[in-house]
Structure 1
């Protein structure tokens, strides 16, 4: 292990955004894909779903391998499969082939979830949270920017060009990584089966990891509840806006994406318990701004979006700082446990918010989002003293 210098940190930060973007290029392109293959937009939605299923599989089955194998070799070895998946998508002659390519694209594009623990491992203790925050910011900006770039490329050049361009970007970045990425020796010796069984060992015996997973699941549930139903809310009174305005709200997410990088510089100097409580309280206040009495205009909605982003990104950063510090020998395995819980919470938030909107409109969505924030706060207050 050669340490984490500024250049390497920036390469991982930018790379996290570039790689994760591959998972989201397809979302603005689904209409074009449907027309090209002569199918419905609902059928084309299988492309986005396959990508997310593949990502979940990669998170659970591939990310733990970084504790068993040399990380540089593992990361560099995955890149040819990312490039091959993008090319398969670009040259797919039917929707089923594109769905297959999308699954493997999601499966292999878990590199950012290897970069975050790698930054935590390489950084000196006083720079650990700052480094994690930097890479997380790169990841979040990549998600936001991918939709903008993909929409422009798709509109002017066609959807296939976006995947081909993605393959070129990955090839260039792969070559850059060969020159800059340091090596980290494996911390686990044993079979793959033993490696996967160790996930349950950490989950069973580490109360701090369980609590962090709970807080992460609740925070992401609140987050997805908002973004899943925002376009429906904007279509009704008093906004009477469309999807373009909802998309513009994504620009506000860039401010939220910068929060981890900023907060990571100071997080180790504050009381984490107090910061958790403050973040949960801020999330609740955000939902009051978004859906409480008198929340009828853009000002309250914009303020609420910014504050809820601030609160939930703070929770995410603190959670990861804690679990990586506790388990330097198993950063990838504890990240797998945490991020699996995180995405389960996000899925529940999406489903519950959709049902709430159908029956109770924005008031129901507000109750779902605030409910997740309350559960996060309650879990923390009940168990943080025992999370050691």
Structure 2
């Protein structure tokens, strides 16, 4: 069951990132103006953020298996529309739908926490989050490789078929879970602000991960552009392989979960933030040598991904301990807040790289991690 949930989370969330390496092809094919090409990715993220705030909370009210299967089928349909799209309007509407449907990945993770025994909840959530992070990390190189051979339409067509099959498996294998919360939908949404305002752990964990995810998004927005420069001169396939190597960082998720289960959340959070710092210090130390610089970039991608993977699990373990009846709402708020940090990192990264080059971009990413670490130093040790 843990393996199924991990694979499902990765397959679902990967759909948010397929378009990132295909923006140029999609905008040219659909007639989207160069100045509006960013909408290919932005609308997917907009749909996801809307879903986090207005769909994920329903996981505390609706039967979870039916909600998950319905969301996966909806995402499959949106992917099929994207695969068949030949106009910008059709593709952008499909992109919005993909983001809305993919939020069921954030119903799956609290679902795993519900099924897990208390003593091993962090470790099991960590394993499921490993699958989610692997989906994020493999999506970009996979999309690039498939598009090289079959065009960008094939990427979305294949994903649509894969999710339709996943929906059938989940319907057959997942147990039913009927939440105890009896709130009506308006009350459910209204309760989000109250939960945020009255839950210090949620606010703190969201701030930590907004800083790290902002740095992560900045790194992976600028790294492909940096690696195409004469110093590295990597091809599209080389960049895809670089991204695949960075996936090694996902191994930190279950380790972080076990540390959280053992009561070491605070110190593990500090280590995760320090890994983020290291992920940007290493490229700044890179010498003129192409080989050494590339090795340092690879090492930076791995340690940064380890920090992000570990901190995500530590945050989820902390907020899931606050009660089963509010897990989906807490998870929705948590993800919405740190995705805002990711959006800030992505947009800032492109601008800083264009104006200040690779060193400026790495320094900006370092600043995100240092801010998170400085805030961590204000956390009091638990008695």
TM-score norm. by structure 1 comes to 0.90
Farther off after superposition, 294-303 or 14-23: 294-303
Is this contact kept in 1: 2:145–2:240, CA < 8 A? no
1:313 to 309, 313, 316: 309
CA distance, structure 2, for counterparts of residue 155 and residue 97 of structure 1: 23
Aligned to 2:321: 325
Offset of 1:376 from its aligned partner? Answer: 0.9
Q: Does 1:82 align with 2:75?
A: yes
Aligned to 1:367: 363
Tell me which residue corresponds to 1:289.
Answer: 282
Q: What is the alpha-carbon distance in structure 2 between the residues aligned to residue 157 and residue 298 of structure 1?
A: 30
Aligned partners of 2:120 and 2:261 also within 8 Å:
no
| Structure 1 unpaired stretches of 5+ | 1-7
How much does 1:108 deviate?
0.7
Q: Which secondary structure does the structure 1 equivalent of 2:321 belong to?
A: helix
Cα distance in 2 for residues equivalent to 1:300 and 1:47: 31
Please give the alpha-carbon distance, in whole angstroms, between the structure 1 residues aligned to 2:63 and 2:131: 24
Q: Which moved more, 1:185-194 or 1:144-153?
A: 144-153
Equivalent residue in structure 2 for 1:107, among 100, 113, 130:
100
The yes-or-no answer on 1:15 pairing with 2:8 is yes
* 8 Å CA contact retained: 1:209, 1:334: yes
Deviation (angstroms), 1:87: 2.2
Distance between the aligned counterparts of 1:167 and 1:238, measured in 2? 38
1:115 deviates by 0.9
Confirm or deny: 8 A CA contact 1:131 1:264 kept in the other structure. Answer: yes
* Structure 1, 33-42 or 120-129: larger mean CA deviation: 33-42
Query: How many residues are treated as equivalent by the alignment?
Result: 380
Q: CA 1:237/1:212 → structure 2, altered by over 3 Å: closer, same or farther?
A: same
- Aligned to 1:367, the other structure's residue is in SS state helix
Distance 2:133 2:5 in 1: 13
Deviation digits for residues 234-281 of structure 1 (CA, Å, limit 9, x no counterpart): 344643445543332211221012321343344422522222222223
Superposition CA RMSD, Å:
2.3
Residue in structure 2 matched with residue 260 of structure 1 by the alignment: 253
The question of whether the paired residues in 2 share the 8 Å contact of 1:289 and 1:295 is answered with no
Q: Residues 303 and 92 from structure 1, CA distance in 2 versus in 1: closer, same or farther, beyond 3 angstroms?
A: closer
- Residues 205, 95 of structure 1: CA spacing in aligned structure 2 closer, same or farther, 3 A cutoff? same
With the length of structure 2 as denominator, give the TM-score of the two structures.
0.91
Shift of the 196–158 alpha-carbon distance from structure 1 to 2, 3 Å rule, reads same
- Given the superposition, is the C-alpha separation of residues 152 and 298 from structure 1 closer, same or farther in structure 2, using an over 3 Å criterion? closer
In structure 1, what is the equivalent of residue 188 of structure 2? 195
Post-superposition offset of 1:374 = 1.5
The CA deviation at 1:345 is: 1.0
Measured at CA, do residues 29 and 226 of structure 1 come closer, stay the same or move farther in structure 2, by a change above 3 Å? Answer: closer
Q: What SS does structure 1 have at the residue aligned with 2:85?
A: coil
- What is aligned with 1:298? 294
